[in-house]
Amino acid sequence: MSDAPGHGPRHTIALSARRIAPLAWPVFVGQVAVLAFSTVDTVLVGRYAALDLAALAVGAAAYVTVFIGMMGVVLAVSPIVGQLFGARRLADAGAQVHQAVWLALALSVFGCALLVFPAPFLALSKATPDIEAKVRGYLFALAFSLPAALLFTTYRGFNTAVSRPQAVMALQLAGLALKVPLSAALVTGVPALGLPAMGVTGCGVATAIVMWTQVFIAFTVVRRDPFYARFEILGRGLHRPHGADLRALLKLGVPMGLAILIEVTGFTFMSFFIARIGTTPVAGHQIAANLVALLFMMPLALANATATLVAQRIGAADLRDARRLGWHGLQIGIGIAALMGGAVFVLRDQVVHAYTRDAAVAAAALPLVAWVALFHTSDAAQAIAAFVLRSYRIATLPLVIYVAAIWGVGLAGGYVLAFDTFGWSPRALRGAPGFWVAATAGLLLAGACMSALLLWVLRQQRGR
């Protein structure tokens, strides 16, 4: 295949795949480990009590809404460092870590307040008093986790940008190894040790312990590993906030964070609205949501790897190679996502029953999982295209696309279908299925628009 989009020397997708794969697989393994945090919690709590599972669905949606948007702002460090690394400006790349740390700490203040006082989220979900009490306990525990999660995001963004995702993966796997026994012990209790069952709150406590452990180890690695010496990260302590660098991070990070926030809230707000329907529908939705999140780790890994290479090639002023890698990464991601989504569709009954032994919850989840193939393929297209666009420091127009497609078509359309707002919604699309049909349509539109925008940007770059 030629240098697509555009003309140039023959450069096959297979060659691009061989360059992307070494960066993608550690990101994939690491992100699967991170997602396994919520998968472990879902399985443990699902087998503990349906009430706690419903609280987990609402609480996890609230936490993800807070964390993901802020994470997106902090992750602006990645494309900036990637370009500096490609240009061999190593000390300047290291200095960005300090500014990202300040940004993470500032965002944590606001984020923790939202988790400690989650009234807006509880109002959206209209949770019953018994569920609300459990949600509050879960989010209070996660408030202690948020600063560590954002600080670790800085470490993750920097390492990804300098082609060292294995360092992040190792800590994420270690975190999972600690998380599993901690959650198991705290959710169900250990009577022999006098440890009472905490239910869903135990999941939040376990996550907080794990995240701060990861931050401590990450700091130790940066201080002792000779690899980081060239970036002068810890030479003179934490740098003071630098106005120009912080403005650059915010200029890229705010639209990035808002775009990611819209993408995630378009999905997590489904949990709040579905919670109004009842405990069983929201529990079924939680299973489908966790499955979709697990599948998303593959396109997310490819997006991170592709965007890293593109940013580095831009920094090295090799725009032709950047174009090729960006376009090929998108094609690879869509192809793999279609295969994965199709496999889940065929095996959906077995997959759902691996999550729960509750027949009613399984029946609620099955029709939602049926939409995964198209949902996941569309999700992969928009994610990879968006990441590559961020490598070119383009984030504002993707934000507009997300607002129209995900909030407009997906969330608003889902509300209309699910609650039969205008009296014409088909019976089969009332309730949770209506949200999933509209969300799939919104992602399909987002994927098409984002891919078209990327194609236009790459063709414009060809003339430079």
Q: What are phi and psi of 6, to 5 degrees?
A: 130, -170
Q: How confident is the model at residue 328 (pLDDT cuts 50, 70, 90)?
A: very high
Residue 392 in tokens: 């070119």
Q: How far apart are CA 16 and CA 7, in angstroms?
A: 16
- pLDDT tens track for 254-276: 998 898 888 878 877 787 788 77
Q: How confident is the model at residue 173 (pLDDT cuts 50, 70, 90)?
A: very high
Q: How far apart are CA 306 and CA 322, in angstroms?
A: 9
| Domain definitions of the chain by residue range | 13-462
Query: Is it the case that residue 365 has pLDDT exceeding 80?
Result: yes
Q: How far apart are CA 277 and CA 9, in angstroms?
A: 57
- Region 425-452: mean pLDDT is 87
Query: Is it the case that residue 442 has pLDDT exceeding 90?
Result: yes
Q: How far apart are CA 407 and CA 401, in angstroms?
A: 10
Q: How far apart are CA 371 and CA 410, in angstroms?
A: 14
Cα angle 291-297-298, degrees, rounded to a multiple of 5: 115
> Can you tell me which residue has the tokens 């300047």?
92
- Per DSSP, the residues of 233-295 read SSBTBSPPP-HHHHHHHHHHHHHHHHHHHHHHHHHHHHHHHHHTT-HHHHHHHHHHHHHHHHH
**CA-based diameter of the chain, in Å?**
70
The pTM score is 0.81
